[in-house]
Structure 1
């Protein structure tokens, strides 16, 4: 490991101009490329105290053996040079947005005498027109199969074309009229090129003109009593309309834009891009990459735009007029100038705020989140990967055995109210949802403020009271609930059902974990460890996972354990922690919703729990129920006219009382009551977790 001080340049020797710098290792290989507005300021930050650097940056500067830089005139030149060097040297410490697969495209070889349509993967070539990329090759073949009925363009390879030309006999597609068969002279080169041009025009979005022309030809054929041709044209128009349904208009006609979304966590980021051409989504692509250092969202989006459009515009004008992003780069003007220069026309980079473009951005974000989830599940489902993760955890934490059973707890509340906890269980690296538990925190709930440390201590105590005596089937602890039982805090758990022999099955929840994970840092870990010491539990390892830098805290250690960012062990711990957080939030919302519903409808004569549930389910929320008329309420199954009138009067009276308290009724504006506002998701505070 090299000492950065051995190759640190003198501060006065580094210019303050914009430029691009390269770190090289002992073998003179470029391991990192970066750009800076001020080279002196940026490079000096790499030679600060090593303990204060991010782990990835620390590894880079200790691997490097020298640093060099190149001064440029403008920041746009720095952006271009940085891209060229990243492409040329492929530095190991630079994040590269490589496709997880090669996306297929539909290619039309307009540079040939008889243009050909085919599925293509790889670099773009001049003289070939491309459509896509598509997510699946079968989607292209389905589109081509549908369109060659109307535009019988050639799809065969050069070898097949020449063989048919020599034999004077077309291939099968020629016989079934899905190819114009220029190989045997059914059409000449000009006629076949016109067919190929019409094919391209349709895919480019100029569909209305083609359909109107075919409808006119169909009408003329019918007038001439050529009903066979008219029927064929009718079927062709129907085929085109079916193809258009697959590419529905999502934005206004003439809109050319790329919509980019980025969703991620501290370790990995998922990027999705939808290509919109002439108002239609023509293709999509996706990447999942490791997040570089502690890069901000603006820096991540700038790196993506630089790498993606640098490669996209080399062989064709792949840059659209608009680039819609979730975050603006640090210098959007500089990025727009660079993209405009590569496109040869103006390019706007902006964040969509409202309307159809904002809605499409939401769709792309949802796809990015789904892609990240699939990526994590794919890794989690691999037996070899899970085994490696458990082995790494054993090594990094110094455990006697691999943690085959891992349990994790998380706390959720809103400003100290409705405090709940979750406990999730992973066995052999996979979630075991039948062993999940909910906890209602009674001690912290009455204090009026959030005390995550005390809540974690309480949950740890309640969980390990089962394990203290070593009984496989201990009595249920007050307040513990399996995932299938959603009851109020303090309710007892139903005893396990007897098996066919009349004996009760052992409760697997009573089995101790090998590793107990707490969502938090040193204080939370210390609280849980103290409880285990009090209970005499010595065969369970305990750690905490802090979110800020994904630090692993071990009881009694002053410094956290830093796992490698690309390690399977850290990925597994993160997934366990995120699952505990999700489970806690879900239970918290469910419990709060029940409490708010009960507070609004409680005490109304003739309205029991069943009818309350039926009303809220029918109207969706208490706010909607308040706006309903007596007749509308009476339409709910099980609610009569008298009960409907009582509900209407009670809710309207409460709303009127709230208005008079706030003075809103004087202005003539309607105002939701407290119970209604609580039930309306738009007015609720998001639960926080410990």
Structure 2
């Protein structure tokens, strides 16, 4: 085996460890010299699969050669079967999202439609979490926009509680008033908030109709509505009959837009893809009861050098890992790796037999071609959008480079902003843009620890010092980190990164550092960098006019650079600065809200620290606690009904 193209230091020890790897099913994890996870793979014969990476580099794809060049260590986990190895691999990829695995882009954030059938007055709304809570979930959808559009249509058809305009506090308020809101008058809500307007049975029928519509069973709904319309007409309830007629026509109009198949009446997902230069889009057609009820495109990353089989296999395992509904038939554009194992896993997950087929002719093949055409169209759109945004970003960064006389384009830009109200709950944000685009996974937030009062300059000096002490530690330039580094430096509210991933990201240094402020802020940031030996990083302040209509660039001991109104650099600087302000103020409000709740609960007898934390976690704000019912308060872990009654009376 050839280890000369790797980052392995002790070849002899590595080969000995590799020799001891068993030829059994399991999962292997390649790591770099810093222990960072590079790739997760599975095999039914671990040793043979792992040894295959160290043959002739010419036999490897470009992506695999790059992976091998970073390999310095490995871990293995032996499993009892190939199915166990598949499940473990999926969980590890989802948890760590290694950079060399094929990844479903933003797989944690795909939205679903949730129907809370487990509640007395069910709600229908968008969510990004699928929980085992008795509710029903439909999706996933590729974008929030498609979910909101679907919810808008559903609400007009079935008049359930408006998903965003009727939160529990508003629902309870109108229940106490005994008067419905405007949505009832608009026939956009059946009025479950007011007793007597609609029975639970009638409202439940509307919710059941929503679920059946999402399942593609619109024909059943039309038949039931038509029977209700005829009954209303016989009873001379002409206004209700006209309302039902309009609903029937609306449902039929939507159903006409759904492609009706001639012979296939089973539930199935049709999956095809398009790929180009490392980019890939997978199109899924959701067919229920012979009707195409939805079509969603999903983007994959890390597909360069991978086979079509590997691409489809990775998509299937990641897409259906959290999917609430799996149909009995999957039509694919190409074969997948180990189809029997994947089918067994899908059957185990769904509770019914799942058949995976690759049709070559007939109507099913036409469906696959339809999905492939949609995937190609979406890939073209993404490519054009990327080219347009890339051209704008390069133009803005080039202009910024020339204005600031930088040696090269500022690939990575970090911007810092401090937020407080009269010195209370002082916080700072760090946002990161790379190639002109935000990178939320690298955002950081800081609580100010050593500065009292509203001193933005001193706060900024503290934050820059903490950030670049982390960088020095990550780069191996120092062995310890002072007590100024707080635990919250590793956290971000934008992503679900682990602490290990957060620590590793501190090593990425900016090509340009922006601070919100003028000469004083620039001097403070420059001093903090100079103390830690990072003098090569340019620091620029962003000064705004009284109406935020100017974004001047401030450099130490230099005249301000006034950006022209039509400057591409102005648009980029404005976007970065406002993102830093948004991230800082969001964190500040969160801390202030928690502090308000804690302080308001301090003097209430019977509410100790544990109960305060539980109430804060459950409701989030004092207003929400006030509006909660006694039953809701009593349901909080650690609370009793007596304590809930006392709390309600005191608030």
The corresponding residue for 2:600 is: none
Asked if residue 152 in structure 1 is aligned to residue 152 in structure 2, the reply is no
What is the match of residue 374 of structure 1?
381
Q: Mark the runs of 5 or more structure 1 residues left unpaired by the alignment.
A: 392-400, 403-690
Partner of residue 297 from structure 2, selected from 282, 286, 301: 286
Q: Which residue of the partner structure matches residue 123 of structure 2?
A: 116
Matched, 1:177 2:201: no
Matched, 1:264 2:275: yes
Counterparts of 1:66-85 in structure 2, within 5 Å, are 66-85=73-92
Structure 1 residues 602-644: Cα deviation after superposition (integer angstroms, max 9, x where no partner): xxxxxxxxxxxxxxxxxxxxxxxxxxxxxxxxxxxxxxxxxxx
Deviation at 1:273, TM superposition (A): 1.5
Per-residue Cα deviation, 1:295-319 (whole angstroms, up to 9, x for no partner): 221122112212222232xxx3x22
SS in 2 for 1:80: helix
Match of residue 2, structure 1, among 4, 7, 15: 7
Separation of aligned partners in 1, 2:27 and 2:396: 38
Residue by residue over 1:248-270, the C-alpha shift from the partner in whole angstroms, topping out at 9 and shown as x without a partner, is 43465742111111221352222
Q: CA deviation at 1:350?
A: 0.9
Matched with 2:37 is 30
1:386–1:211: structure 2 CA closer, same or farther, 3 Å change rule? closer
* Alignment-derived partner of residue 360 in structure 1: 367
Distance 1:55 1:135, change over 3 A: closer
* Distance verdict in 2 for CA 1:223–1:384, change over 3 Å: closer
Shift of 1:369: 0.9
State the shift of 1:181 in Å.
0.8
The question of 1:239 aligning with 2:250 is answered yes
Give the distance between the partners of 1:101 and 1:65, measured in 2 at CA.
29
- Which protein is bigger by CA-based radius of gyration? 1
Alignment of structure 1 residues 401-550 onto 2, 5 Å:
none
1:216 pairs with 2:227: yes
Instruction: State the Cα deviation string for residues 143-165 of structure 1 (Å, max 9, x = none).
Output: 54554455332222112111211
Alpha-carbon distance between aligned partners in 1 of 2:231 and 2:22, rounded to the nearest angstrom: 76
199, 202, 210: which one pairs with 1:199?
210
Q: CA deviation at 1:290?
A: 4.0
Is the CA contact (8 Å cut-off) linking 2:281 and 2:299 kept in structure 1?
Answer: yes
| TM superposition shift of 1:279 | 2.3
The separation in 2 between residues aligned to 1:141 and 1:321, in whole angstroms, is 28
Please state whether the residue corresponding to 1:22 is helix, strand or coil. strand
Residue 349 of structure 2 corresponds to 342
2:30, 2:37 within 8 Å by CA — same for their partners in 1?
yes
Q: Secondary structure at the match of 1:288?
A: strand
2:27 aligned with 1:20, yes or no?
Answer: yes
| Structure-2 separation of matches of 1:15 and 1:380 | 48
In 2 relative to 1, CA 383–24 (structure 1 residues): closer, same or farther, beyond 3 Å?
closer
Q: Check whether the contact 1:272–1:285 (CA below 8 A) recurs between aligned residues.
A: yes
SS in 2 for 1:311: coil
Tell me the number of residue pairs that the alignment of Structure 1 and Structure 2 aligns: 389
Give secondary structure in 1 for the equivalent of 2:379: helix
8 A contact 1:147–1:243 mirrored in 2: no
Give the alignment's TM-score, normalised by structure 2.
0.54
CA distance in 1, matches of 2:397, 2:185: 61
What secondary structure sits across from 2:103 in the alignment?
coil
Q: Which runs of 5+ in 2 are unaligned?
A: 1-5, 399-407, 410-651
TM-score (structure 1 length as normaliser): 0.52
1:9 partner SS: helix
Change (3 A) 1:7 1:343: farther
Aligned residues of 1:100 and 1:288 also touching (Cα < 8 A): no
Q: Among residues 287, 295, 305, which one is paired with 2:306 in the alignment?
A: 295
1:143 & 1:27 partners in 2: Cα distance? Answer: 46
Match of 2:176 among 166, 177, 183: 166
Distance 1:135 1:172, change over 3 A: farther
Tell me what 2:479 maps to: none
CA deviation map 1:193-249 (0-9, x unaligned): 232123322332333333223323333443444433333332232222123234343
Instruction: Find the aligned partners of 2:40 and 2:209 in 1 and give their Cα distance.
Output: 46
